[in-house]
Structure 1
Amino acid sequence: MLRNWSIRKIIGGILLVLLFSAAFYPPLQQLIQTPHHLVLFEGQDYDVPAALPALGISDDGVIAFTNEAGNYKLTGQHADNTSVQFGVGGFPLYSMDVTVLPELKIIPGGQSIGVRVQTEGVLVVGHHLIDSDDGSVSPGELAGIEVGDMITKMDGENIDEMNDINPIVQKAGETKEPIQVEVKRNGELLKKQIEPMKGKGESHFRLGLYIRDSAAGVGTLTFYEPKSKKYGALGHVISDMDTKQPIEVNKGEIVSSKVTSIEKGMTGEPGEKLARFSSDRKILGDIQKNSSFGIFGTLHDKLENGILKKPMEIALSHQVEEGPAEILTVVNGDQIEKFDIEIVSTTEQKFPATKGMVIKVTDPDLIEATGGIVQGMSGSPIIQNDRIIGAVTHVFVNDPTSGYGCHIEWMLHEAGINIYGEQKKAG
């Protein structure tokens, strides 16, 4: 009985050693690291682990398999779905689904741009009190109109800009009829009634509201698609400076701008690019969309950044690697420069999300000039392995050399550029 127990113990030990050793067996390690579903663009390569060669590839022309001096590669040939069998010694161990997407190349940006947007309606940014015979009150606040509301209609008339409001207010004040107001709040349309008032000694009626109908700022162009001229920039939403609410864009435009100086970033105090719109006021394109991934529209003409002039491949989120990368941005005038950064971490995202990468500036010249990532640098394209992988979005307040980046595929989607063609996104 004791002898049988000893034999079982020995056999168990041997099996444990074999199992432990197998974990460090190169083919098995590479098998574990091989994706279940590979997504490539037409013309893109995937390096196959040398210790885990492909055994069988469907003869459908979707991918090509090559072996050059022991370097195994899969190359996307035709947009479609297929599969590949992997194994060792002729014995199949693993099957990988492969999706090949239509070829897509875009032009990297890096240009400093001025942004001008007209809101959809007028934005309420505050209340002010009117000193009347009935006391100090704000008619707008009494009517239930809140900071952040967008006034879109008054007495049935569309409100596109601040100048549309005064005639309606004065007419209602004279007739002593309340104004029927439509406001948009968090995507919901609400109806309010507001009674204009005169202040003591004043001749005009007022609403007791601070309003704004436009916004302007600077940022960085990320990319444009050369055929459609659709572009993306900023990498984050434009929000009102007072309400912090996203601006709903009625119309807008981007113009060329020049960086005049830099306020360097420090711990606890983000820096900023100080820029002015170029003297020629040349309109580069329109703004059709303002989303959490930036602003999007169509360029009027082609743009060049002076560094990378040819269309470049993109990398999907699962193709981004931790390690060295570069950004294109302007720190002086309108000259685009290339600077070194590090991809500290990256998340393979199956659904749109803004914070896909953590990045760190490593270039001593950029750190010397800006302290790291500064406001106005948002949208600077991130390049890795000769592919556009995303854009700079936010800086860490407590570490101006570090910040977030978003993956390029989500910006392309927001721009209305169909990455996947007829293919479905990997699930």
Structure 2
Amino acid sequence: MSTREKWRRAAGLLLVVLILAIAATPEFRTFVTLPDHLRLPQGQAHELSLGIPFSTAVQTAGGSGLGVGGTSPVSLAAEETGRYTLDVKLFGLIPIRRMTVDVVPQIRVVPGGHSIGVRLRSKGVLVVGFAAVKDSDGQVHHPGREAGIQIGDAIVAIDGKPVRGEEHAAHLFQEAGRKGRPVTVTVRRGGESLERTVTPVQDGESGRWRVGLYIRDGASGVGTLTFYHPASRKFGALGHVIADGETKRPFEFAEGHITAVDVVKIQKGKRAAPGEKITNQFESGGRLGTIEKNTRFGIFGRLSAPVRNPLYPEPLPVAMASQVKEGPAEMLTVVEGQKIERFQIEIVRLMRQPTAEGKNMIVQVTDPRLLEATGGIVQGMSGSPIIQDGRVVGAVTHVFVNDPTRGYGVLIEWMLQEAGILKAETDDAGLREEGLSRRLPVLPAVTGG
């Protein structure tokens, strides 16, 4: 090997080592995780760390309503609503990053913390399992499964009659069986409407006519209210989607509501055994509002009347994703009766972009009182609002099964966007946007027919 070739290999190796060394620095990680788009509330200053140790220049386009100062961290002064573009240039010459900044009107919400009962009624009835039907001769049949009905299908009509619930479906199957005829079952599967012909079979033991399907028409459970937006009367809760326990799919519902509940007992969380809030029968509590959406960032709807939080008599401003930081914060939740209390937590990690299940942050309970009372995060706390520096920043959503002192949280920005509150307010500014609920135990399933 020639000397020149040796020098080339040495230089190449040195370059690789240099690149790896730079990639391992906190500054580089800060730079590569800079968002392409961020929102800032009007009238608030914000520091944006670029993570670049070299001379940089930041230029803005879109008007004079966004003041820019410094190099890194860059000071952004959000003076006027609107959309702006930030160009980051190395040494003031080489373009290395372009960001879009939306300055939006300040949003204020009443923080929640209230324990709530959640009740959803499905569209038709949901197929959650199969059951064998044994006739009087001992023969085993699976009428529904053999007809092509699948777990997760929603039965919306039987012989053209809309299904109103479990008992109604069972009655229609029974009547068809008595008359000795098959039925036409209309199911909804993945947005598609399908028809299947099923012949009921008479159960040899009970004498009832069955189609061998476990069905359910609703889901219910306990969670926590995250926020109430007085201007629109909209609320957000849970911070994560309600999914069916058997199918694991988002629960599609025809109607739903939330109610007030009392926490009567806490089952403490332990390693590999998540705890939970034990509440009274929530149907006996007063209805608080109607559920309109079940999404990956929680449930949303409108309240029947305003709610109050005695810890914060006045609405609090919300923080956009770029304003949330790692460090101390507080969580609001109920551990006894209906009394909302504040407890100290630590935001130990942030993922500021939307994620599949709304897991934007990792939080850890540090408050000795809460650790003593609950062991950390328990089922029924999902939706508990997180407050930092006098602003609502997000909500607790999940617990770590092997460490109940830690869990996930969702950022309030994504909840507000899902609720339509943030979009509505940015539209007013002339812009266009281009579990831990107590594992929502579902109602007991019954066999159809």
Same fold (TM over 0.5): yes
In structure 2, C-alpha distance between the alignment counterparts of 1:411 and 1:59, rounded to whole Å: 27
Q: 1:349 to 1:65 in 2, by over 3 A?
A: closer
1:79 maps onto 2:87 in alignment: no
Q: Is the 8 A contact 1:256 1:277 kept in 2?
A: no
SS at 2:422's partner residue?
A: coil
Structure 1: 5+ residue runs without aligned partners?
Answer: 1-22
Aligned AA for 2:166? M
Aligned AA for 1:256? A
SS at 1:332's partner residue?
A: coil
Question: What does residue 41 of structure 1 align with?
Answer: 41
Q: CA offset at residue 313 of structure 1?
A: 2.0
Question: What does residue 399 of structure 1 align with?
Answer: 403
SS at 1:254's partner residue?
A: strand
Q: CA offset at residue 158 of structure 1?
A: 1.2
Q: 1:133 to 1:280 in 2, by over 3 A?
A: closer
Q: 1:336 to 1:144 in 2, by over 3 A?
A: same
Q: TM-score, normalised by structure 1?
A: 0.81
Aligned AA for 2:79? Q
Q: CA offset at residue 120 of structure 1?
A: 1.1
State which structure, 1 or 2, has the greater radius of gyration over its C-alpha atoms.
1
SS at 2:148's partner residue?
A: coil
Q: 1:72 to 1:159 in 2, by over 3 A?
A: closer
Aligned AA for 2:331? I
The superposition leaves residues 264-319 of structure 1 with CA deviations (integer Å, 9 ceiling, x where unpaired) of: 11111111111124685211001112122221111011001211222222222222
In structure 1, C-alpha distance between the alignment counterparts of 2:74 and 2:252, rounded to whole Å: 50
Question: What does residue 200 of structure 1 align with?
Answer: 204
Question: What does residue 242 of structure 2 align with?
Answer: 238
Question: What does residue 330 of structure 2 align with?
Answer: 326
The superposition leaves residues 4-44 of structure 1 with CA deviations (integer Å, 9 ceiling, x where unpaired) of: xxxxxxxxxxxxxxxxxxx9xxxx99x97998866311122
1:379 maps onto 2:383 in alignment: yes
In structure 2, C-alpha distance between the alignment counterparts of 1:56 and 1:358, rounded to whole Å: 34
Q: Which structure carries more strand by proportion?
A: 1
Q: Is the 8 A contact 1:352 1:410 kept in 2?
A: no
SS at 2:175's partner residue?
A: helix
Deviates more, 1:38-47 or 1:353-362: 38-47
In structure 2, C-alpha distance between the alignment counterparts of 1:227 and 1:267, rounded to whole Å: 42
Q: Is the 8 A contact 2:257 2:290 kept in 1?
A: yes
In structure 1, C-alpha distance between the alignment counterparts of 2:240 and 2:87, rounded to whole Å: 42
In structure 2, C-alpha distance between the alignment counterparts of 1:114 and 1:139, rounded to whole Å: 36
In structure 1, C-alpha distance between the alignment counterparts of 2:62 and 2:140, rounded to whole Å: 81
Q: CA offset at residue 201 of structure 1?
A: 5.6
Q: TM-score, normalised by structure 2?
A: 0.77
Aligned AA for 1:311? P
In structure 1, C-alpha distance between the alignment counterparts of 2:159 and 2:38, rounded to whole Å: 57
Question: What does residue 420 of structure 2 align with?
Answer: 416
Identity of aligned residues (%): 44
Q: Is the 8 A contact 2:46 2:323 kept in 1?
A: no
C-alpha RMSD of matched pairs (Å): 3.5
Question: What does residue 123 of structure 1 align with?
Answer: 126
What is the total number of aligned residue pairs between the two structures?
395
Deviates more, 1:177-186 or 1:165-174: 165-174
Q: 1:152 to 1:279 in 2, by over 3 A?
A: closer
SS at 1:324's partner residue?
A: strand
Q: Is the 8 A contact 1:85 1:92 kept in 2?
A: no
Q: CA offset at residue 46 of structure 1?
A: 1.8
Question: What does residue 9 of structure 1 align with?
Answer: none
Give runs of aligned pairs for residues 180-191 of structure 1, distance below 5 A.
Answer: 180-191=184-195
SS at 1:224's partner residue?
A: strand
1:132 maps onto 2:135 in alignment: yes
Q: Is the 8 A contact 2:41 2:320 kept in 1?
A: no
Q: Is the 8 A contact 1:120 1:249 kept in 2?
A: yes
Name which structure has the greater RCO, CA cutoff 8 Å, separation 6+.
Answer: 2
In structure 2, C-alpha distance between the alignment counterparts of 1:376 and 1:77, rounded to whole Å: 40
In structure 2, C-alpha distance between the alignment counterparts of 1:163 and 1:194, rounded to whole Å: 18
Question: What does residue 285 of structure 2 align with?
Answer: 281
Question: What does residue 227 of structure 1 align with?
Answer: 231
Question: What does residue 107 of structure 1 align with?
Answer: 110
Give runs of aligned pairs for residues 18-37 of structure 1, distance below 5 A.
Answer: none
Deviates more, 1:200-209 or 1:354-363: 200-209
Question: What does residue 6 of structure 1 align with?
Answer: none
